[in-house]
Structure 1
């Protein structure tokens, strides 16, 4: 023999096995966003229908997921990650250093703009995920807890700057996140006659009312 056999690189069509797997998974999640977040919804979707929408086979589905519930779980995390990334980016680009009211407005406009950019995201986050199983309820509440932590962290920072009243904000933040979720869902469903900017302004007023209750005066004023 004049040469050696090369070890397989794992590439096919210029992509590694990991890249192909990520692409397949992405196609399943993109298809699930349309089906779970639209018609027929998660409970009305079959594995066969999801595979057809993704343009992939059932064999490929079971290489990536065990059940449709696993797809919903992954999709729920993906949608929440998009919103969280939008908030972090907005804070880094524009909100840092602004007075409290302006900073909160920038953050909520970024969040609301992201989750309402596609009505399917709202339905995945606030409708389809609810009551599916104990596992998904735990995941849903865990992701909600992350948003509560974000509000509490912002409140704590505002207190340290003298922009908000000192108190334990966990209960108030939990109630406020419920208001955010409910209002954005109802607005997306067409039950609230307002523009998205008006919805954001209302949420900002509610949060500022929590951070700056009637009668509270910043120190030194």
Structure 2
């Protein structure tokens, strides 16, 4: 009854009811990223990044990424220092359209959170994939040899819009991923094909502060040609957004 009353108040009020748990939102309706302080995205890589009006989830615009072979030809957008410094965990969500995922054996990243760890080194925690288009969690450190992986059996959807949601908790070192509301990965629960290429952090996933959030696409190896990806309706929040 209380929720119903609150909803009625929100509808009738001349002011919108603000969700205090939402930290950052972006629907790309205002134009190209990075043009105003309110749209603090930075681009990186030699890939193509532009606003598209033809393939959108809702509204009139989405952001289009076209990446090439190898890290230099990535297509990334990054926001920095948008999450509170004392934040222990956060949820992210967005709508995504992948024309065709990377071929077998090519490692890709589409979501990355990075920053400095409590141990003093930089770390990157990622979601992407590698084998037969299956989703994979990845952990890497620029100054240490780690490059850890955690595979799943779930293949990324292609040629249709889908919902992707993620959760990262630096206190307990856990991360989760949902595709169309289905939980497809949890770091502290999934035991499929996990390991590290280097052990300079004792095979541990030491999570960083949430200083940078990066979205888009990169193929780390060559041989995959180009990737075409669209993203819409990005939300960063203190609670899971459906």
- TM bucket by the smaller chain? under 0.3
TM-score, structure 1 as length reference: 0.25
**Greater C-alpha Rg:** 1
Compare the two structures and name the one with the higher helix fraction.
1
TM-score, structure 2 as length reference: 0.23
